[in-house]
Structure 1
Amino acid sequence: MDITIHTTFLPHDDPDASVAFYRDVLGFEVRSDVGSGTMRWITVGPPNQPDTRILLAPPAADPGITDEERRLIAEMMAKGTYGWIVLATTDVDATFERVVAHDVEVVQEPTDQPFGVRDCAFRDPAGNMVRIQQQL
């Protein structure tokens, strides 16, 4: 079986702030940006992985979602418990210094985890957890 990751989803509540974070802070390229206002679907990805994409999308664009579900999604986003992603780098400490030079919310400085990974964590503008770990 030959399965690869094509696209993963992260919600946004401010498309311009999300683009600035993923493009300007993490160095990803913007591959598509469709829609208007806050109803934009933006695809970003690392330049060295053209077949891997993150879709930044409105969190409650489905017309079948109830008002209560929209409220719950907004609460979870505010707490940083709705969306998250784990990225990898060859030098987590240098990456941390580069990212922290921007106005980002640091959740965890580089730390050696008991399960054998060195990683750090930030929140993107929508509250999504972005963990970056040392690539082995």
Structure 2
Amino acid sequence: MTVSLSGVHVLVDDPDAALAFYRDTLGLTVRNEVEHGGFRWITLVTDSQPEVAIVLSQPHAGRSKEDGDALAALLAKGVLNMIQFRSGDLDATVGKVAETPGAEVLQEPASQSWGVRDAAMRDPAGNLVRIEQG
């Protein structure tokens, strides 16, 4: 039996701002976009791993109002799980993030005790994103 990662969901409060960050800043490619019931699901992939999708969706999309409200509150606090990327040019990537409206660089590129050189930032929705030098 073989199991592999096919996708990761990332909650965002503003799909357009998230799309600008993940597509325009980080360079991901939109594979699919679906609208239903006033909500959007945007599927993106990287050129180096097109088989692994990142799906951007809103907290209330496909959920009850109560569950959506709870997720929206956690998103607003910035306490949802982080997403990790790898970049061939970490310094250039962090430079682009620093210029992206709504994004925030939390930690400049640094060598970590666990053996990687990485940086930390928040996307426009407040999600923690770490990018390591690859």
TM-score norm. by structure 2 comes to 0.86
Amino acid at match of 1:42: I
Amino acid at match of 2:25: V
Distance in 1 between residues matched to 2:20 and 2:9, nearest whole Å: 17
Deviations along 1:21-55, whole A, 9 cap, x unmatched?
11111011111111058510100111232211101
Deviations along 1:83-112, whole A, 9 cap, x unmatched?
420001123223212322323211211122
- Name the structure 2 match of 1:129: 128
What residue ranges of structure 2 are gaps of 5+ in the alignment? Answer: none
Distance in 2 between residues matched to 1:13 and 1:83, nearest whole Å: 15
Distance in 2 between residues matched to 1:34 and 1:66, nearest whole Å: 20
Distance in 1 between residues matched to 2:117 and 2:37, nearest whole Å: 38
1:23 aligns with 2:38: no
Closer/same/farther in 2, CA of residues 38 and 78 from structure 1, 3 Å limit: farther
Root-mean-square deviation (CA, aligned residues, Å) is 1.9
Q: Is the 8 A contact 2:97 2:105 kept in 1?
A: no
1:77 aligns with 2:72: no
- Name the structure 2 match of 1:120: 119
Q: Is the 8 A contact 2:94 2:105 kept in 1?
A: no
What residue ranges of structure 1 are gaps of 5+ in the alignment? Answer: none
Q: Is the 8 A contact 1:77 1:83 kept in 2?
A: no
Distance in 1 between residues matched to 2:37 and 2:89, nearest whole Å: 36
Distance in 1 between residues matched to 2:42 and 2:65, nearest whole Å: 24
**Higher mean C-alpha deviation, range 29-38 or range 126-135:** 29-38
The list of structure 1 runs, each at least 4 consecutive aligned residues, that deviate by more than 4 angstroms after superposition, is none
1:91 aligns with 2:89: yes
Say how many residue pairs are matched: 133
Task: Give, in angstroms, the shift of residue 3 of structure 1.
Answer: 2.5
Give the % identical residues: 44
- Name the structure 2 match of 1:4: 4
TM-score norm. by structure 1 comes to 0.85
